[in-house]
Amino acid sequence: MKWSEFFTSSVGKKFIMGLTGITLILFLVVHAGLNACIFATLLDENDHGEMFNKAAHFMGSNVIPRLLEIGLFLGIFLHIIQGLVLEFQNRSKRGISYKVNYGNRGSKWYSRSMGLLGTILLIFLILHWVQFWIPSRFTGMEEVTIDGKQVHDLFGLMKTTFEEPWVVLVYVLACISLAYHLLHGFQSAFRTLGLRSNRYLRIVKGLGIAFSILIPLVFALMPISMHFHWVG
């Protein structure tokens, strides 16, 4: 079988979705873990976001995270484009739609709404890039001096960005979309890759539920605690 045949078959396309999905799941752990450094201010009142800014500086300046970032963006775009293509292709297969829908009787609403949830996340991502990633990477931003080094004051940028209530609202809505996207996507990715042993599926399902609740919750707490000045 040719590579092109494999990757254009319906299982091959899903294989890409599953693999990139798991890559993005791993990225979420790194992202949530690093950003959780903002909560260091709760433990040390002299921190003032230093730990977070240092961590962000490391990710932005060290060669390994920068290389991984290229892979990450390839993964994200593959996941988005393939996901949208599959959504439109699959939607076109029915022809005339039913008068009465099967709806939630046989499947969960979020498992049928991965395209919609993913699109909400894409819109959020564009906003998120414009607010944080592009200034830090390309257009430049305010700096602070930590241990004699000039580093981007991403902590300060978070504080000013999350003063706006609508921004906090958009971020929280995106976190809810992410939670439901993961609730189906986490375990579905493993099934797509062929996992069928009940021993492992039980672990994957449990882990998937815990992950889908915890990670979006940690993310959602960031704009909320910034907005209400719980950290700072």
Partner 1 sequence: MEHYTMNLNLQVWRQKNKQDKGHFDTYQVSNISSEMSFLEMIDVLNERLIREGSDPIAFDHDCREGICGMCSMYINGKPHGPWEGTTTCQLHMRAFRDGDTIVVEPWRAKAFPVIKDLMVDRSAFDRIIQSGGYISVNTGNAVDGNSIPVEKEKADASFAAAMCIGCGACVAACKNSSAMLFVSAKVSHLALLPQGSPERKTRVLDMMAQMDKEGFGSCTNTGACEAVCPKEISITNIARLNAEYISAGLTEDK
Chain residues binding partner 1 by CB under 8 A are 1, 5-6, 9-15, 86, 89-103, 105-108, 111-112, 114, 184, 187-188, 191-196
Nearer CB in complex with partner 1: 61/89 = 89
Instruction: Give min distance, CB of 122 to partner 1, in A.
Output: 18
Q: Specify the 3-state DSSP secondary structure of 194.
A: coil
Nearer CB in complex with partner 1: 84/157 = 84
Instruction: Give min distance, CB of 196 to partner 1, in A.
Output: 4
Instruction: Give min distance, CB of 202 to partner 1, in A.
Output: 13
Nearer CB in complex with partner 1: 2/148 = 2
Measured between its terminal Cα atoms, the distance across the chain in Å is 57
Instruction: Give min distance, CB of 6 to partner 1, in A.
Output: 4
Burial of 218 (0-12, 13-18, 19+ CB in 10 A): middle
Give the separation between CA 76 and CA 66, rounded to whole angstroms.
Answer: 15
Nearer CB in complex with partner 1: 112/159 = 112
By the 8 A CB rule, do 126 and 142 touch? no
Nearer CB in complex with partner 1: 62/90 = 90
Q: Which residues contact 192 (CB under 8 A, 6 or more apart)?
A: 11, 14, 15, 17, 18
Burial of 70 (0-12, 13-18, 19+ CB in 10 A): exposed
Instruction: Give min distance, CB of 21 to partner 1, in A.
Output: 12
